[in-house]
Chain A
Amino acid sequence: MSDRVHQQIHARAREESLLNARVCVRTPKTNAIPPEVPPELREEIERHMALYPDTRSAALPALAAAQRLHGWCSPEAIEQVATVMGLTPAYLAAVASFYDMLETESIGRHDVYVCTNISCSLRGADRLYEAVRDAAGDDPDFNVRPFECLGACDIAPMASVDGVYVGPLTPDDVPRLLDDIRTGRPVLADKQLATRLVADPNANSQAFPAHPIEESAP
């Protein structure tokens, strides 16, 4: 109850001009009209909200859903989430900017995260990243990023393609990798983590290059 009252108090504070025009100039209000929310997005966010004792817990899944729809957490996407969740866009923008997987700038449709953390780097990840980055070039379909440890050092060096882990990779794999993405085939089907056995020690055997970590230009 008191929360709602406070929200009302707050809403009124914004509507009414507290500050007498005679003594103070206020900055013009922007975007007072709540944005239209696509019904399927609203529905998905509300489904997440219903799962938690405190609906705010749905912020990450909600932002992820908005990102799937809009391609990134654009101001528009954030305002839509804010409208459904009853939070301020500022709050959600702050949350979004905290997490690596929530994009606050427009990006390509396909995420290619190349792990460049220590274990992968020890096995040539920096060179791999450069190869992917160069091969993808300025193709707007790709979001190629060097990424922190993705938790698959057993297949180092590796990459996550829209969530599918593939490795160990060499620069030679890169053309096929991008081609698979472009054509919609399963990405490097023979190199997917999902096919790998844990208890087969030989499955882990691989040759790897003898070279130090190479720092890639940021």
Chain B
Amino acid sequence: MGSQLNSEKTTAVSINDDGVTLRLKAPITLPVEAESICPDCFVGCQQSEILALPVFCGRRRKMLGDIFSVSGEASDRITVEGDLTHFKRIGQGMSRGRLTLRGDGGMHIGAYMKGGEICVEGNTRDWTGAHMTGGMIRIRGNAGHFTGAAYPGEIRGVNRGTIIVHGDVGNETGARMRRGLIVVEGHTGECTGAGMIAGSVFVFGKLGARAGAGNKRGSIVALGETAPMLPTYQYQCRAQFGFLGVYLRQIRKWGIAVSDDLLKGSFRRFSGDVTALNKGEILIHD
């Protein structure tokens, strides 16, 4: 829907660099399908058109203006203020601009995202960044289960793009991801990188149990504690890995504290999962 709205409007109004701010009028506990809160939808819209964008609140169709007060127009920079825990699919499919959530967000934030940047200053729920193919999602708090994972029934999940979670994440982070990078500054739940096809998951806190189950070619990098490894991983060697220097320096640029110890450190390499292709790996910092 977002791209359709965008293609109809982009020629009508020039882009406004001041951005659009949405303020939640009153707390909402019903689930809200809010994929219209997306820079691609806003960029060509005058304020009256933004106010009229559709959302589903429970089973009722409403307009954004019924739920939010809106300032600004015609911009691909959006700030949303309020508790959006029950708002789903914010930034779904976005390809440009910047979306900032000043508060908690709900499920499916940035799902199918293609470009641009989402920054959530609170926590998010499940399926953050599911199937994203580009751009960056940054969660200042915690994220739920299935962060950067593939939806049930889908063989491949995330394919490019970066998800940074400064807090903890739930289970099955990065499940069946094809490419891309997920960085977790806190701890992960169980089955991180389950069924990974490729891509990278960096965990600075504790890596949860059963990490890399069914991993084909993906890299899971444990920079803190680790739960017991699956028996389907084989120890290979202790070494310094040049590519980690590239990654950790970039991660440091993204604002995560990476000590010089980590940059220069050696890692134990476990290859697996032998029940899958056996070309994946878990690297554990010594």
**A interacts with B:** no
